[in-house]
Chain A
Amino acid sequence: MLLVLLVCSATTALAQEKTVTGNVTDQLGLPLPGVNIVVSGTNTGTQSDFDGNYAIKASQGQTLVFSYLGQQDVRITVGTSSTINVQMQEDTEALEEVVVIGYGNQEERKIIQNVGIVKQEAIENLQVVSADQLLQGQSAGTQIVNSSGVLGSAAVIRVRGVNSINSGSQPLIVIDGVPITDTAGNTLNRGGNTGINPLSYVNPNDIESLTVLKDAGATSIYGSRGANGVILITTKKGRKNQKTTLTLDVSTQFTQSTDVPDILTADEFREFKAEVATIQNGATVTPEDLGLGAIGSGGTDWLDGVQHTGISQNYNLGIRGGGEKTTFFFGLDFQDTEGFIIGNTQQRQGARINIDTEVTEWLKAGMNLGITNNRLNRVGIENNTFAPFTTAFLQSPVIKAYDEEGNYAQSGSFIPNIFAIVDLDTDELKTFRVIGNAFTELSPFPGLTWRSEFGIDKLHLEEFLRSVDFNSPGGSAQQIFVNEDRWLTNQTLNYSNTFDEDHSLSVLVGLNYEETLRTRSNVSSTGFLTDDLRNLGSGSTPTVLNGDRFPSRLFGLFSRVSYDFKSKYLVEGSLRRDGSSRFGANNRFGYFWSAAAGWVLSEESFVQDLNFFDYLSIRASLGTVGNDRLGTFPSLGLFDAGAIADYNGQSGVIPSQPENPNLKWEESETLDVGFKSSFLDGRITLNATYFKKTTRDLLLNQNLPPQTGFVSISRNVGEMENSGLEFELGTVNIRKPNFEWRTNLNITTIDNQVLKLNEDAATDDDGRRIIDGPVQRAIEGESLNNFYLIRYIGVNPDTGDAEWLDIDGNVTTDPGSGDRVVTGSPLPDFSGGMTNTFKIHDFDLSVLMNYSYGNDVVIDGLRFADGNDAIGGIVNIRRQNLNFWRQTGDNSFLPSPTSSTFNLFNQRSSLQQLDASYLRIKNITLGYNVPEKTLDRIGGIFQGIRFYATATNLFTLKKSEMDGIDPEVTDDIDPLFQGESFFTAPQSKSLTLGARLTF
C-alpha cells in the first residue's frame, strides 16, 4: 500500500515539474552569488548568479537545499509557488572555513598556528603561468622574488627570510601530502639561478588552496624539514551532491619585455670612441682608425634582435562533480608559451585526476594524481656569454650579425654572435613528472580515523644540447638524464571528540617514511663530421662527465594534541622525531617540538559587550624545527674515485671528506605572538604577528689543521636570528548590491642578524668575525647580507676626476680594497603586497600590487656597461656614458678621458649599487560575467561565460637610477649572494585575453 502511494506521488511529482526561481541573500540582505542549490535526492543542481538569482527545475513536494560555505544550510520544500526567496544566516558553527595544515585540517577560527592562507576566491580569477605567482603579494611573511622573464626558471621563495648560510633556504613544498623534491643542479647551469621551478609541476588552475606554514607551531610537525617554512598545496576536489560542471578556459597571451637599458647605436658608439681617443691623444682619431668602421657603415641592434612579442596559448579544462558517495575532479591543461626572448619557448601538458569515494560508512578511499609533461627551450641568463640579454647589452653594436650574403658572421671576440647561438644551437629540456598519492581512511568508531597514504614523486628530466660547428668548432653535444624518484607513506591516527559539550580534544599520531633516489648520467661529445649528425654518438670524443646515484631516506614519527575549552581557550602541542640518512651516526634522530596557546577573546562576554569585534583572538607559540638540506652524505668519511685518484692506468681512491659523525640538522627555534581580529560586521579584518626565529647549529666550514690532510669540515657552529612583524589588513570598502570594493594589504618586516660564526672565521679590523665576498660581507653581530663596497661619490665638476671615499671618509681618486665599507643591504625594510578587487554589476576587476622598500641591488654587469675600458673597450655601454667631462663645471656621468680615474671609474664600487625599492602592478584582471538572462537566451547550455583580460607588470614605480634594470633580482639562490645580479633579463610584460566557459 505504502509502496503504491510512493510510486503514485512520484509519478504525480514528475508530472508537476516546474521552474522555481528566486533570489538568495545573506543576513544583511545582500545578494549571495555562488550558492549551491540542489534538489534533494537528485542530481539536479544549480548555483545562484552574481545577483543572487537562481532558477531550477523541481516538482512540488521536493526539497531544495541551499548551501553556501559559512552559511547555515536552508531546506525548503517546493510548494505551489514558483518563487522561493531565501535569506541565509551565518553558520556560527561553520563560520570559518576548514584550513589545510600539516597532516590534517583545522577550523580557521580555532587555528593557533601561524599560517598564511590563500583561498580559492583569491586565486580563481588570477591568470598565472605557475603556482608561485599565486602566492606573490598574497601572504605576509612570504617573499617571492620572481626570476627574470626567462621561461621555466625558479622564483626565490623565502618564508620569513633567510635561515641558513650554507644549506638551502627554500621552503618545503607539499602537494596533496607529498613533499616534492627540489634538487638544484638537476639541469645544466645557464647562468644565475636557472634551477627548474618545482612549482611549475602543478597546474595553477588545479589548485584549490595554498597554505604557508610559518611558525614552529605549524611547521614542527614537519620536523627536520620545516625550518624554511612549508607550503601546502591542495588541489581541487569534487563536491558532494553537486551537478557536474565542466569549465573550459582558453586564453592567448602577448608578452614583451618591461624595461631594457638604453645603450648606444653603432654610430653613437663610433663617435664616442673616436671622441674619447681624440681627447686622449690630443690629435684627431677617426672611428676607422680604431677599426670600428666609418660612421654610417652600419652595425647591429642586438638588443632589438633578441626580443620579440611572444605569443602564447593556454587551454585548460576542468570537470568537477560528485554524487552521494563519490566526488571527482579532472583537470587537463595545455600551454604553448613563447617568451619575449628569442629561442625561449615552452610547451606544457598536464593532467590531473582526483577521486574520493566513501566505500562504506567507515571507509573512505581516494587518489590524487597529477602528471606534467614539459618541453622547454632554454636560453642563458646573467653572467653568461650565451645569455641573449646579457650579450645583447654588451656586444659591440658595430659588429655585424650577418655577412654580405646574409649568413651569420662570427663576432670576432669571445662574446659570440648571439643570433647564431639561439638560432642554430639546441638547448632543450624535457621533463616528465608524476606527483600523486592514494589513500584510505578508516573510521572504526566515530571520532577516530586512520588515514593511510602512499605517495610518489617521480621526476624524469632530459636535457639535450647541440652546438653547431659555427658556434663550437667541430660541434659539441651534451645529454643529461636525471631521475629523481621519491616514494613515501604517511600513516596517521586521528582522534577528535568533544566531551561534556565544552572540551574539544584532537589527538594525532603518525608516521612518515620516505625514500629518495636521484640518479644522473651526463655525457658529452665533441668532434662531429657535420652538423647534420645530431646525436651524441656521432661525435669522435665522447666523455662521461657524471654517472652517479644519490640515495637518501627519512623516517619520522610525530604527534599533535589540540585541546580547547568552549572554543575559547586553546592549547596545542606537537612533537616529531626524525631520523635521516643524511645525519651523522651520533645524531641520527632529532626531536622537534612546539607548544601553542590561544585565547578567543570574542567568546568572552566582556568583549562581546563592547559590541565591536566580530572576532578577536590572541595566540603565542614556541617550538623548534630543522633544516636537513645538507647534501646527501655530509657525515660520512668519503673517498673519491675517478681521474683524481688514478695512477698509471689503475683506479684508486683518495680521502675526500673526513668522517663527521656529529653532523646534524640546522635547528630553528621560533617564538611567534599575534592577534587576529575582525570587526564592523566583518568589514575589517586585522591580523598582526611578531616573530623571532633563532637558528642554531648552522653549518659552517671550519678550517682544519693542515696536518689532518683535509682543508675544512662542516660543523654545526653558527647562529643567526630573524625577527620581524607581519600585518594583514582586509577591508570591505564598499558593499552595495551592485558594487563591491575590497582591499587586502600585507606588510612584512624582517631583521636579520648573524649571532655567531665559527671561531676560526676571518675577522675584520674591529675583530668581528666575517664571511667575505667580492660584493657582500656577512659580519657577526650584523645582518648576513651587507653590500661591502668602496663608496663612489661622482665626477668632480672642477677636475673631471671620478672620486671615491677612502676608509676614513676622505675623498680619493685611487681607492683600494681596504676602503670598502658597508654601503647598503639587499634586505628590504619592509615588503608585501596589496590586492584591490572591485565588482560592479557583471564586471569584476582585481589589481594586485607588490612592493619592496629600502633594499639595494648590485648590478655587477654595469662594470662592463659603463665606462670606456671594460674588456679592452670592445663592449657596448649605456647612453649616460656619452655624458663625459669635457670642461670645468661639467656635471658629468663619466670622468674626463684624460683623467687618471677614467679607466678606474667602472671598478667595483657603490656605483653599481642601486636603490631597488619598487611598487609594481603585478597583475590586473578585468572580467565580465555574462548575466544569466543572456545565458538563458542563448539556450541555457552554459552555466557561465566569463571574458577576461589580464595584464602583468603593466607599471613599475622605481628610482630613476633603475631605468632599464629590473628591481627583482635573483641571480643566485645562495643566501650569501642575495640582491646581486650581473644582468637580469627584464620581467615580462604581458596581456592575456581569454574566455572561461562553464557547462
Chain B
Amino acid sequence: MKISKLLIVFLSIPIIISCEDHLDVVPEDNVASNTVFGSLVTIDGAMVGVYSLNQSGDLNGNPQLMGDFMADDVKFVGSFPSLQEIRDYETLATNASIDNIWFDAYQLIGAANNIIANLPEVSAEDVVGLTEGTKTQLVGEAKFLRGLTYLTLVNLFAQPYQFSDGTNLGVPLVSEPFEGGDISDFQNERSTVNEVHSFIEQDLMDAVAALPETNGVRATSGAAKALLARLYLYREQWDQAADMANQVITSGVYTLASDYDFYDDNPESAENIFVAVNTPTDGPQESTGSDEVYVNFYNPAPGGRGDAPFSQDLIDAFAAEPGDRRFDELSQAATDAGGNDTFFTTKYPDVVNNASDGMILRITEMYLIRAEANLRNNTNVGDSPENDINLLRGRAGLPDLQMTIALDDILNERRKELCFEGHRRMDLLRNGLNLRPGGGAESAPGANKVIFPIVDDEINNNPNITQNPGNF
C-alpha cells in the first residue's frame, strides 16, 4: 500500500510542476509589448507603425483640408455636417471630424513615446543587429514625427503665437507611453503655446542631431531642420527661421524641381523633404474613415467627391497674373458637388488607387520661409528675398518682380505655391489677416472659432483640461 501511495505522489508531482509554467502563453496574431523590443525587425516595425499612423487621413489629409475650408483657398461645397460646421466657424466639441484628429494625434504620440521612452533602455547587446547608432536614429525619427504631430495639434486647437506672444493655452503634453497603469498621468492640463513650441523645438533639435541627411522616405535631419524653420517662422524668430531654411537649401540634398511632376506619387523627388507616402497596396490605415481624403475631396467626380474646388478668391489671385503654370498645369475645370462649373487642383491625381502622397515638407517652402524671414528681419541670409521669390516665379513661368518686394508679394507667392497643401490658414492668422476676403469678426484672427474646441472626449475624461473660450 505504501508503495502505491508513493507511486501516486511521485507520478503526480511532475504534472503539477510542469503545468504552472505553461500559463504564460504568447499571442501569435499580435505582438506583445514586452516582445516588441526583442528583435531588430520588431523594433523597426514599431517605428514603421508610427509612420503608418502619420499616414492616417486624420493626421495628414483632414487637418490640411480643414485649414483650407476655414481659409480662402477652397470653397467647401460638400454635405458632411461636421465639415460644414468647420467651414462656417461653428465647430462644436462633439464634432466627430476633429475628435478623430485629436485621437489619432495622441495615438501617434503614444506610439512615438513608446519608442522614445523604451528603446534607449534596450541593451544593444541583447538584440542581434541593434547598434547604438540605430537606436539613436529611431528615437530621432520618433521625435520628428512627435514634433510634427504636436505642431499639427497646436496649430488647430490653440490660437497662434501672435495671439498673446505664446502665453495662451496650447495642448496637453505627454511624453510617456501608456502601459496600463495610472491614468492620471494622461490627464494633463494644457501647456501654453510657448511650452508646446519649445517641446517641439527640443524634439526637432534632437532629431537634427540624430538623423542622417538621407534616409529613403523616412525622416532626415533636413526634414527636422525644415520643420524647425516653419516653427520659427510661426513664432516670428526670423534669424533662426532664415538660418534653418538656409541650412536646408544649402545642404545640397534638395533642389528645386524644374517642373511640378513631384506631386504625382514621386516621394523621392529632390523637391520633397518629407511626404506621407500613400501606395496602392497599403490598405486601410484605420478601420473607419478614409485615409485618402486628399484624393476624395480635392478631385471632382468620378473618382472624387468634388467637395473642395478652388475658391473664387484663389481663381482671381491666379487670374491676376495669367500664364502661371501652377494654375495651368495644376488645375482642371470640372463640376463640383454643388453642380457649379469651377476648378479643382490636380496635386492629388491618383483617383484610381487613391494613392497620392500627402505633401508635408518640400524645398520650395524653405525658399519662401527664407524670403519672408529675411524680409521681416531685414537680412539677406543665403540670398535676398527678391531672388528667392523670383526663382519660384521663374519656375512658374512668371516674370521677375522688378520692384522691391513687399510682404504681400511673398504671401501671395506663398499662397499660389502652397495652396491645397494646408498652409493658408496659419499664414493668414499669423499675419493678422482675416481668413475670408471681406470676412467678419467670426473669421478674424483671434476669433474664438478660427481654432477648434478641445474635443468632448478629452473634456469628459480629463478633469484638468480647459476648454477654449466660446460657446461649444
Contacts of B282 in A (CB 8 A): 643, 646-649
Contacts of B24 in A (CB 8 A): 581
Q: Return B116 CB to nearest CB of chain A, in Å.
A: 13
- Beta-carbon contacts of A645-679 to B below 8 Å, as 1s and 0s? 11111111111111111100000000000000000
What's the interface size class on B, roughly? 35 or more
> CB distance A652 to B46 under 8 Å?
yes
Q: Within A704-718, which residues are at the interface with B (CB < 8 Å)? A: 704-711, 713
Closest residue of A by beta carbon distance from B217: A648
Closest residue of B by beta carbon distance from A589: B23
Q: Which of B29, B46, B179 contacts A659 (CB 8 A)?
A: B179
Q: Return B10 CB to nearest CB of chain A, in Å.
A: 12
Q: Which of B5, B22, B108, B114 contacts A444 (CB 8 A)?
A: B5
Q: Which of B30, B51, B55, B103 contacts A641 (CB 8 A)?
A: B30
Q: Within B1-54, which residues are at the interface with A (CB < 8 Å)? A: 1, 4-5, 8, 12, 15-16, 19-20, 22-25, 27-34, 36, 42, 45-53
Asked if A94 is at the interface (CB within 8 A of a chain B CB), the reply is no
Asked if B209 is at the interface (CB within 8 A of a chain A CB), the reply is no
- Beta-carbon contacts of B435-463 to A below 8 Å, as 1s and 0s? 00000000000000000000101101110
> CB distance B52 to A646 under 8 Å?
yes
Closest residue of B by beta carbon distance from A555: B19
Q: Which of A450, A639, A709 contacts B36 (CB 8 A)?
A: A639
Contacts of A442 in B (CB 8 A): 4, 8
Asked if A591 is at the interface (CB within 8 A of a chain B CB), the reply is no
> CB distance B111 to A654 under 8 Å?
yes
Q: Return B75 CB to nearest CB of chain A, in Å.
A: 32
Q: A548-B29, A703-B461 are in contact. Are A646 and B186 (CB under 8 A)?
A: no
Q: Within A522-569, which residues are at the interface with B (CB < 8 Å)? A: 548-553, 555, 557
> CB distance B179 to A637 under 8 Å?
yes
> How long is the Cα–Cα vector from A660 to B33 in the complex, in angstroms?
11
Contacts of A709 in B (CB 8 A): 106-111, 113, 177-178
Closest residue of B by beta carbon distance from A704: B183
Q: A513-B15, A706-B455 are in contact. Are A445 and B33 (CB under 8 A)?
A: no
Asked if B340 is at the interface (CB within 8 A of a chain A CB), the reply is no
> How long is the Cα–Cα vector from A656 to B49 in the complex, in angstroms?
11
Asked if B180 is at the interface (CB within 8 A of a chain A CB), the reply is yes
> How long is the Cα–Cα vector from A647 to B5 in the complex, in angstroms?
63
| Most B C-beta atoms less than 10 A away, residue of A555, A638, A646 | A646
Q: A636-B33, A705-B187 are in contact. Are A644 and B172 (CB under 8 A)?
A: no
Contacts of B106 in A (CB 8 A): 706-709
Contacts of A710 in B (CB 8 A): 107, 110, 178
Q: Return A779 CB to nearest CB of chain B, in Å.
A: 20
Contacts of B179 in A (CB 8 A): 637, 658-659
> How long is the Cα–Cα vector from A659 to B103 in the complex, in angstroms?
19
- Beta-carbon contacts of B254-298 to A below 8 Å, as 1s and 0s? 000000000000010000000001010111111100000000000
> CB distance A704 to B461 under 8 Å?
yes
Asked if A91 is at the interface (CB within 8 A of a chain B CB), the reply is no
Q: Which of A552, A654, A656, A708 contacts B52 (CB 8 A)?
A: A654
Q: Which of B15, B53, B114 contacts A491 (CB 8 A)?
A: B15
Asked if A129 is at the interface (CB within 8 A of a chain B CB), the reply is no
Q: Which of B1, B45, B48 contacts A445 (CB 8 A)?
A: B1
Contacts of A450 in B (CB 8 A): 8
> How long is the Cα–Cα vector from A949 to B140 in the complex, in angstroms?
79
Q: Return B196 CB to nearest CB of chain A, in Å.
A: 13
> How long is the Cα–Cα vector from A530 to B187 in the complex, in angstroms?
59
Q: Return A524 CB to nearest CB of chain B, in Å.
A: 15
> CB distance B180 to A637 under 8 Å?
yes
| Most A C-beta atoms less than 10 A away, residue of B1, B28, B49, B106 | B49
Q: A513-B15, A644-B52, A653-B45 are in contact. Are A705 and B458 (CB under 8 A)?
A: yes
Q: Within B86-111, which residues are at the interface with A (CB < 8 Å)? A: 102-103, 106-111
Contacts of B27 in A (CB 8 A): 550, 632-633, 636, 638
Closest residue of A by beta carbon distance from B46: A653
- Beta-carbon contacts of A587-608 to B below 8 Å, as 1s and 0s? 0100000000000000000000
Q: A549-B29, A641-B31, A709-B111 are in contact. Are A651 and B45 (CB under 8 A)?
A: yes
Q: Which of A515, A552, A708 contacts B183 (CB 8 A)?
A: A708
Asked if A511 is at the interface (CB within 8 A of a chain B CB), the reply is yes
Q: Return A18 CB to nearest CB of chain B, in Å.
A: 49
Q: Return B55 CB to nearest CB of chain A, in Å.
A: 6
Q: Return B268 CB to nearest CB of chain A, in Å.
A: 10
Q: A489-B15, A649-B282, A706-B102 are in contact. Are A581 and B30 (CB under 8 A)?
A: no
- Beta-carbon contacts of A746-780 to B below 8 Å, as 1s and 0s? 00000000000000100000000000000000000
> CB distance B180 to A655 under 8 Å?
no
Asked if A579 is at the interface (CB within 8 A of a chain B CB), the reply is yes
> CB distance B30 to A579 under 8 Å?
no
Closest residue of A by beta carbon distance from B43: A653
> How long is the Cα–Cα vector from A493 to B46 in the complex, in angstroms?
50
Q: Return B157 CB to nearest CB of chain A, in Å.
A: 12
Asked if B202 is at the interface (CB within 8 A of a chain A CB), the reply is no
| Most A C-beta atoms less than 10 A away, residue of B47, B172, B183 | B183
Q: Return A225 CB to nearest CB of chain B, in Å.
A: 15
> CB distance B178 to A652 under 8 Å?
no
> How long is the Cα–Cα vector from A645 to B8 in the complex, in angstroms?
53
> How long is the Cα–Cα vector from A108 to B179 in the complex, in angstroms?
52
Asked if A580 is at the interface (CB within 8 A of a chain B CB), the reply is yes
Q: Return B298 CB to nearest CB of chain A, in Å.
A: 22
Contacts of A557 in B (CB 8 A): 16
Contacts of A581 in B (CB 8 A): 22-25
Asked if A640 is at the interface (CB within 8 A of a chain B CB), the reply is yes
> How long is the Cα–Cα vector from A651 to B42 in the complex, in angstroms?
9
Q: Return A108 CB to nearest CB of chain B, in Å.
A: 30
> CB distance A555 to B20 under 8 Å?
yes
> How long is the Cα–Cα vector from A792 to B48 in the complex, in angstroms?
55
Contacts of A445 in B (CB 8 A): 1, 4
- Beta-carbon contacts of A723-766 to B below 8 Å, as 1s and 0s? 00000000000000000000000000000000000001000000
> How long is the Cα–Cα vector from A638 to B27 in the complex, in angstroms?
9
- Beta-carbon contacts of A607-646 to B below 8 Å, as 1s and 0s? 0000000000000000000000000110011111111111
> How long is the Cα–Cα vector from A489 to B12 in the complex, in angstroms?
12
Asked if B188 is at the interface (CB within 8 A of a chain A CB), the reply is yes
> CB distance B23 to A580 under 8 Å?
yes
Q: Which of B30, B53, B55, B277 contacts A633 (CB 8 A)?
A: B30
Asked if B174 is at the interface (CB within 8 A of a chain A CB), the reply is yes
> How long is the Cα–Cα vector from A432 to B60 in the complex, in angstroms?
49
- Beta-carbon contacts of B199-236 to A below 8 Å, as 1s and 0s? 00000000000000000010000000000000000000
Q: Within A678-728, which residues are at the interface with B (CB < 8 Å)? A: 703-711, 713
Q: Return B223 CB to nearest CB of chain A, in Å.
A: 15
> How long is the Cα–Cα vector from A40 to B11 in the complex, in angstroms?
40
Q: A706-B458, A707-B187 are in contact. Are A638 and B32 (CB under 8 A)?
A: yes
Q: Return A777 CB to nearest CB of chain B, in Å.
A: 19
Closest residue of A by beta carbon distance from B99: A706
Q: A557-B16, A637-B180, A760-B460 are in contact. List 13 more A-B contacts (CB 8 A).
A: A552-B25, A555-B20, A638-B27, A644-B283, A647-B55, A647-B282, A649-B281, A654-B46, A654-B49, A655-B177, A706-B102, A708-B106, A710-B107
Chain A residues with a Cβ under 8 A of chain B: 442, 444-445, 450, 489, 491, 493, 511, 513, 515, 548-553, 555, 557, 579-581, 588, 632-633, 636-662, 703-711, 713, 760
The contact sample of 23 A-B pairs, CB cut-off 8 A, is: A444-B8, A513-B15, A550-B28, A552-B25, A581-B23, A581-B25, A588-B23, A637-B180, A639-B33, A639-B36, A640-B30, A641-B45, A644-B52, A644-B283, A647-B277, A652-B48, A655-B111, A656-B30, A658-B179, A706-B461, A707-B458, A709-B108, A710-B107
Chain B residues with a Cβ under 8 A of chain A: 1, 4-5, 8, 12, 15-16, 19-20, 22-25, 27-34, 36, 42, 45-53, 55, 102-103, 106-111, 113-114, 172, 174, 177-180, 183, 186-188, 217, 267, 277, 279, 281-287, 455, 457-458, 460-462
